[in-house]
């Protein structure tokens, strides 16, 4: 973890009123969510507390919070390890995301729009990430877009619930680089959502969100399990294998996206062709 937490970077929040425990939590939770700390990796309490420039007590408090979030496992006499990936947990959190975003879209439209949200700037950030081929920047911009739409509804509880769901979903999203095609496809979806919401079309907005989120997550997780089997428990690998067998028998149609037409046309980045099957988590 030495590349993640340097003394200079760790002290960034020192003058902001953030407690030492909160600073440690924010650094660690982001590192886990973005796979800078991989599933199964050890978090050495003494070394990392020293690197953050704090005693072990606040660092231990941060680890306890992460354990309650299900992001680390604390094993007596062995240490603390980043939790292995759980396909059901990731799928459950994706369902939470969808439920929140679909409902908050309705609230935003009924409240007459995106007050205080610069949607054009959010889209522009995604375009820049695609232009530079920076998949991690695109994933961060993608998350910012979705969280901004939730926040626009003015429901603080929904924002907190969505943020917690993102922590778990991101562990699948960041595990494998997002391809340029997948980034362009996601941007096209975001444009669809934005257009529908600006036109105050509740049903179309909610359908656009569902089409965007109801992707073949199992397929993504199976691909991850093949490349990074150590990130999954034996039970999870067996479950994903069984899901793969079932998907093959059913023709793997569960992830097929329905095409979305807005006023008879597909709103997407210039030059984008009709979509093939989804490649990566949004």
| Statement to judge: residues 30 and 153 lie in one domain | no
What burial letters (b/e) apply to 140-151, b meaning 16+ CB within 10 Å? bbbbebbbbbbb
Cβ(63)–Cβ(20) below 8 Å: no
- Residue 268 in domain: no
| Statement to judge: residues 238 and 212 lie in one domain | yes
Stated pTM of the model:
0.74
The CATH number of residue 14's host domain is 1.10.10.10
CA dist., res. 71 & res. 115, Å (int):
34
Residue 16 reports pLDDT greater than 80: no
| Statement to judge: residues 47 and 127 lie in one domain | no
Strand ranges of the sheet holding 42-43, from the earlier edge strand across to the other edge: 42-43, 79-82, 72-75
Work out the average pLDDT over 85-102.
90
Residue 255 reports pLDDT greater than 70: no
Q: What pLDDT score was predicted for residue 254?
A: 36
Cβ(210)–Cβ(76) below 8 Å: no
6 confidence band (pLDDT: 50, 70, 90): very low
What burial letters (b/e) apply to 234-271, b meaning 16+ CB within 10 Å? eebbebbeebbeebeeeeeeeeebeebeeeeeebbeee
Q: Which residue, of 18, 52, 82, is where some domain finishes?
A: 82
| Statement to judge: residues 28 and 110 lie in one domain | no
- Residue 130 in domain: yes
| Statement to judge: residues 150 and 223 lie in one domain | yes
pLDDT digits (tens, 9 = 90+) for 118-157: 899 999 999 999 999 999 999 999 999 999 999 999 999 9
Q: What pLDDT score was predicted for residue 245?
A: 60
| Statement to judge: residues 228 and 94 lie in one domain | yes
Q: What pLDDT score was predicted for residue 91?
A: 85
Count of CB atoms situated within 10 Å of the CB of 61: 16
Domain range for 122 is 87-249
CA dist., res. 61 & res. 246, Å (int):
43
| Statement to judge: residues 20 and 52 lie in one domain | yes
Alpha-carbon Rg of the chain, whole angstroms? 20
Q: What pLDDT score was predicted for residue 216?
A: 54
């Amino acid at each position: 973890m030495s590349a993640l937490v340097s003394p200079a970077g760790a002290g960034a929040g020192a003058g902001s009123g953030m407690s030492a425990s909160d600073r440690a939590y924010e650094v660690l939770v982001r590192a886990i969510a973005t796979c800078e700390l991989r599933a199964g990796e050890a978090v050495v309490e003494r070394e990392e507390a020293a690197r953050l420039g704090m005693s072990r007590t606040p660092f231990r408090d941060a680890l306890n919070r992460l354990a309650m979030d299900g992001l680390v496992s604390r094993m007596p006499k062995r240490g603390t390890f980043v939790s292995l990936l759980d396909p059901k947990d990731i799928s459950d959190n994706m369902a939470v995301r969808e439920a929140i975003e679909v409902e908050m879209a309705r609230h935003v439209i009924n409240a007459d729009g995106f007050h205080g949200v610069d949607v054009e700037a959010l889209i522009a950030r995604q375009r820049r990430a695609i232009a530079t081929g920076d998949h991690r920047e695109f994933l961060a911009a993608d998350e910012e877009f979705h969280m901004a739409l939730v926040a626009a509804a003015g429901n603080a509880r929904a924002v907190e619930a969505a943020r917690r769901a993102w922590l778990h979903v991101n562990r699948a999203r960041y595990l494998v680089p997002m391809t340029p095609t997948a980034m362009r496809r996601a941007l096209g979806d975001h444009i669809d959502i934005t257009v529908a919401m600006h036109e105050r079309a509740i049903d179309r907005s909610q359908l656009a969100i569902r089409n965007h989120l109801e992707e073949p997550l199992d397929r993504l997780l199976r691909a991850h399990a093949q490349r990074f089997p150590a990130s999954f428990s034996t039970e999870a690998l067996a479950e994903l294998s069984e899901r793969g067998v079932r998907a093959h028998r059913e023709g793997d149609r569960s992830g097929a996206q329905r095409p979305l037409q807005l006023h008879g046309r597909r709103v997407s980045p210039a030059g984008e062709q009709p979509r093939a099957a989804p490649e990566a988590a949004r």
